[in-house]
Amino acid sequence: MVKVPSQRAPRVSAQRPAQGGGSRIRQRQRLRLIDACISALHLYGPSRTTVEKVVALADLSPGIVRFYFDSKAAMLVASLEYLAAEFEERVMVPVANLKDSPVEALRLLVDLYLDADIASPRKVSVWYAFWGEASSRQEYYDICGKKDEDFALLVHELIERMIGASAAKHLDADGVALGLIGVLEVLWQGFAFQNEADIDRADAVKRSLKYLRSVFPGHF
């Protein structure tokens, strides 16, 4: 999730498994624990998530946690790092690759940002749990601060390119970019409090594109 102005750094869990059967098994177990930790954070929040709750969700023995994480705090941080790396790889990188075609890039940005895998209620609630809980804000900033800034800069650059392409020199890139990020954030907040079955993602995409169309008539 992207809170402007702030967010990220270390890439951790989106590594490819190392070669060798044992390494692949260890990688799968580690990712299984991270996935269970994300579910626990969604259900309980950072302060009430415990190792016991995580291993119960992962259906693994409590002792296995120490092979992968030094502490509960390290496991929580690894989960946030995983989501941060996933967001960068699956949203920011493909969108940045299309920045020479700003209409296509912004359409893709909206689609990916609101995608059911990236913006599931479970994952979105983890972003907000870290950001909203006072004891976790520093971890959130340390892991996510730089990446949030990079995301804001990417959106700003795409809007600047749209302004140039549409000859809409009267528009302010900062204001338009902040407006788009705000639209996407509001939709994410809604996702965090709904069940997946109740989310109308097509409508969310449509509403986001309506904002862009209102700023750039004839596009989107």
Confidence band for 42, pLDDT divided at 50, 70 and 90: very high
**What is the pLDDT, as a whole number, of residue 174?**
98
The answer to whether residue 146 scores a pLDDT higher than 80 is: yes
**What is the pLDDT, as a whole number, of residue 134?**
60
Greatest mean pLDDT among 1-10, 19-28, 30-39, 70-79: 30-39
Confidence band for 143, pLDDT divided at 50, 70 and 90: confident
All domains in the chain, ordered by first residue: 21-215 (1.10.357.10)
**What is the pLDDT, as a whole number, of residue 10?**
34
The answer to whether residue 101 scores a pLDDT higher than 90 is: yes
The answer to whether residue 166 scores a pLDDT higher than 80 is: yes
**What is the pLDDT, as a whole number, of residue 16?**
42
Q: Following DSSP, what letter does each residue of the chain receive, concatenated?
A: ---TT--B----TTPPPPSSHHHHHHHHHHHHHHHHHHHHHHHH-TTT--HHHHHHHHT--GGGGGGT-SSHHHHHHHHHHHHHHHHIIIIIHHHHTTTTSHHHHHHHHHHHHT-TTTT-HHHHHHHHHHHHSGGGHHHHHHHHHHHHHHHHHHHHHHHHHHHHHHT-TTS-HHHHHHHHHHHHHHHHHHHHTS-GGG--HHHHHHHHHHHHHHHSTT--
User: What tens digit of pLDDT does each residue of 75-94 get?
Assistant: 999 999 999 999 999 999 99
Q: What is the mean pLDDT of the chain?
A: 88
Least confident residue range of 17-26, 87-96, 167-176 = 17-26
Q: Which pTM value belongs to this model? A: 0.84
Confidence band for 3, pLDDT divided at 50, 70 and 90: very low
